[in-house]
């Protein structure tokens, strides 16, 4: 049985060359996730979950259940990968200064502009007499002041602050995760099992206590109570992997993880199917109550956790396998992906508003919204990045 020797592993890593700063597979995974976010917001009005449009399609429910169960957690994981070397290179204060520019500034700008503009499209459906200036003033003074997808920015900034504090306490604090990542190059199932156990331990109690729909909200600052610790575990697992030698551990392009992608697919499909079984039980047997019993929330949380980690491994395995197989259709969009995430929401909601009265099936409306949201948000980001200094943020 193979054992992990802390001393030998440390000696190995000190002797190993530094990993490259960029990894094409991770860049493509991040761009792919951005498109998943746009797809999620394009189809959600045409589902049982959103149903803000008179038409719907069950296939979109399947998409929304899948995307909502992994994509934000995976964003935190990818964001964490470069935190520790960034702090080591710049120092905690300089690193936080950069993160305030890249995360804090866009959050403030979007909270006052992008988000009110997006939700005004929903408000008009119920209160067509209200002008935008009146709606904007009421939003920021009286509320509610929803954050839409930009809640991710302030939560990520908070995690960055915690990471800086932990680094000051001990730069070696995340070394055990890094050693596990190096071991995971040959045995990714071990890393999977440890990550699954830790994320389950932090997520399941919160899900049982708070349920699925409980949010912390203070002005534009919001986050789901039951998921915040789940996101933290993903972030710090990513940070641990990225402590050093990123390309030599779990995420090595020639590692074992990229060669067993079918295993991750099976591990994802089983809990996904069980989540649908539990949803059917909730609707058909339990009567779709507002407060679900603890046993239900616990079982759903277990399936959710397994699915989330397995899908992330599946996506990473796919992009790692084809990391150096030539150019990808995602490559031209990589530099603009963050900007597309920031500006897409009002584009999607206004397209849905304009399509509302058209007598078209959901299977026509949703693709129109998705394609145009991608095109317009990409074009707008390209234009914004021409503004002097904007590239530092976008």
pLDDT, one tens digit per residue, over 141-160 is 998 999 999 999 999 999 99
- Of the two residues 50 and 257, the one the predictor is more confident about is 257
Residue 178 has pLDDT above 90, yes or no: yes
Run of H or E including 168: helix 151-169
Q: Identify the CA nearest to 176 among candidates 114, 127, 249, 278.
A: 249
Average pLDDT over residues 315-342: 88
- Residues 76, 321: contact at Cβ < 8 Å? no
Average pLDDT over residues 212-221: 91
Residue 223 has pLDDT above 60, yes or no: yes
Residue 19 has pLDDT above 50, yes or no: no
Under the banding of pLDDT at 50, 70 and 90, the label for residue 5 is very low
Q: How far apart are CA 394 and CA 369, in angstroms?
A: 23
The pLDDT assigned to 22 comes to 65
The pLDDT assigned to 328 comes to 82
Classify each residue of 323-349 as buried b or exposed e, where b means 16 or more C-beta atoms within 10 Å of its C-beta: beeeebebeebbebbbbbbbbbbbbbb
Residue 10 has pLDDT above 70, yes or no: no
- pTM score, two decimals? 0.92
Residue 197 has pLDDT above 70, yes or no: yes
pLDDT tens across 343-352, in order? 999 999 999 9
């Amino acid at each position: 049985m193979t054992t992990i020797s802390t001393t030998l592993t440390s000696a190995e890593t000190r002797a190993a060359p530094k990993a490259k700063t960029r990894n094409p597979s991770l860049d493509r995974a991040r761009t792919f996730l951005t498109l998943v976010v746009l797809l999620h917001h394009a189809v959600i009005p045409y589902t049982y979950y959103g149903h803000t449009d008179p038409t719907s399609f069950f296939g979109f429910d399947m998409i929304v259940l899948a995307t909502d169960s992994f994509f934000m957690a995976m964003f935190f994981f990818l964001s964490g990968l470069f935190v520790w070397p960034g702090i080591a290179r710049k120092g905690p204060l300089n690193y936080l200064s950069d993160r305030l520019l890249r995360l804090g500034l866009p959050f403030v700008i979007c909270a006052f502009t992008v988000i009110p503009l997006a939700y005004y499209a929903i408000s008009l459906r119920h209160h067509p007499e209200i002008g935008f200036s009146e709606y904007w003033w009421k939003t920021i003074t009286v509320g509610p002041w929803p954050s839409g997808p930009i809640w991710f920015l302030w939560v990520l900034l908070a995690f960055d602050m915690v990471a800086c504090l932990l680094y000051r306490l001990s730069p070696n604090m995340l070394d055990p995760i890094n050693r596990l990542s190096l071991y995971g190059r040959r045995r990714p199932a071990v890393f999977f099992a440890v990550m699954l156990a830790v994320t389950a331990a932090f997520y399941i109690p919160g899900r049982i206590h708070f349920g699925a729909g409980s949010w912390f909200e203070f002005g534009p600052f919001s986050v789901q109570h039951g998921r915040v610790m789940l996101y933290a575990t993903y972030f710090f697992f990513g940070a641990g992997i990225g402590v050093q030698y990123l390309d030599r551990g779990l995420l090595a392009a020639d590692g074992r993880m990229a060669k067993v992608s079918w295993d991750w697919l099976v591990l994802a499909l089983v809990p996904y199917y069980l989540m649908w079984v539990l949803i059917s039980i909730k609707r058909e047997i339990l009567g779709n109550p507002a407060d679900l019993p603890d046993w239900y929330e616990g079982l759903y949380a277990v399936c959710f956790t397994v699915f989330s980690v397995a899908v992330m491994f599946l996506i990473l395995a796919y992009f790692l396998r084809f990391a150096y197989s030539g150019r990808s259709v995602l490559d031209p969009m990589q530099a603009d992906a963050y900007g597309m995430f920031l500006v897409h929401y009002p584009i999607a909601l206004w397209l849905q508003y304009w399509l509302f009265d058209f007598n078209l099936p959901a299977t026509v409306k949703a693709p129109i919204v998705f394609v145009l949201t991608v095109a317009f948000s990409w074009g707008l980001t390209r234009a914004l990045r021409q503004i002097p200094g904007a590239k530092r943020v976008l």
